[in-house]
Amino acid sequence: MAADTRSGEKSPAQIFALVMGAVLTLAGILGFFVNSSFEVGSTVPRDTLVLFDINGWHNIVHLASGALGLALAKSYAGARAYAIGLGAVYVLVTILGFIVGNDGTLLRLLPINTEDNILHLLIAISGLAAGLATPAQPRPSTATA
């Protein structure tokens, strides 16, 4: 169901942007308490937050993508673009993650494990689903003034 921006109903993309933005921002902040290393290379230092490999670079990615989601969550079109864009990026990240394998490193910066790859796939699917479930234009309001 499309959102009615005048009645305050949120679109699937806006809900996705708000929830994913909050979760990624929180993960980025908490991640610095676990590992704040910014070393690079094929064997970057890594620690685990819950089940997921992280380091300082990974935390920055989470903070940036989370902040972007929070910033765009109020905008119907912005949230839709965020959901589809983040979903598409995470499709690529998932493919690259499975290529480098468990305990691999993306771009010589980001530690990746199998759990990360599965999470990235779920984020990709949910982002694309939320974005595509949100029509390009909100439906007009039927509320009376």
**pLDDT tens sequence across 16-64:** 999 999 999 999 999 999 999 898 887 788 888 889 999 999 999 999 9
Q: So where are the chain's domains?
A: 12-35+52-132
- Residue 4 reports pLDDT greater than 50: no
Does 69 have pLDDT greater than 60?
yes
Residue type, position 85, single letter? G
What phi and psi values does residue 54 have, to the nearest 5 degrees?
-145, 165
What type of residue is 78? G
Q: Greater confidence, 144 or 10?
A: 10
- Give me the pLDDT at residue 128, please: 98
User: Residue 8: what pLDDT?
Assistant: 73
What pLDDT is attached to residue 7? 57
Return the pLDDT at 25. 98
Is pLDDT of 2 > 70?
A: no
Alpha helices (H) along 4-113: 12-34, 56-72, 76-100
Rounded to two decimals, the pTM is 0.87
pLDDT tens-digit readout, 74-125: 999 999 999 999 999 999 999 999 999 888 888 889 999 999 999 999 999 9
Q: Positive or negative CA dihedral for 64, 65, 66, 69?
A: positive
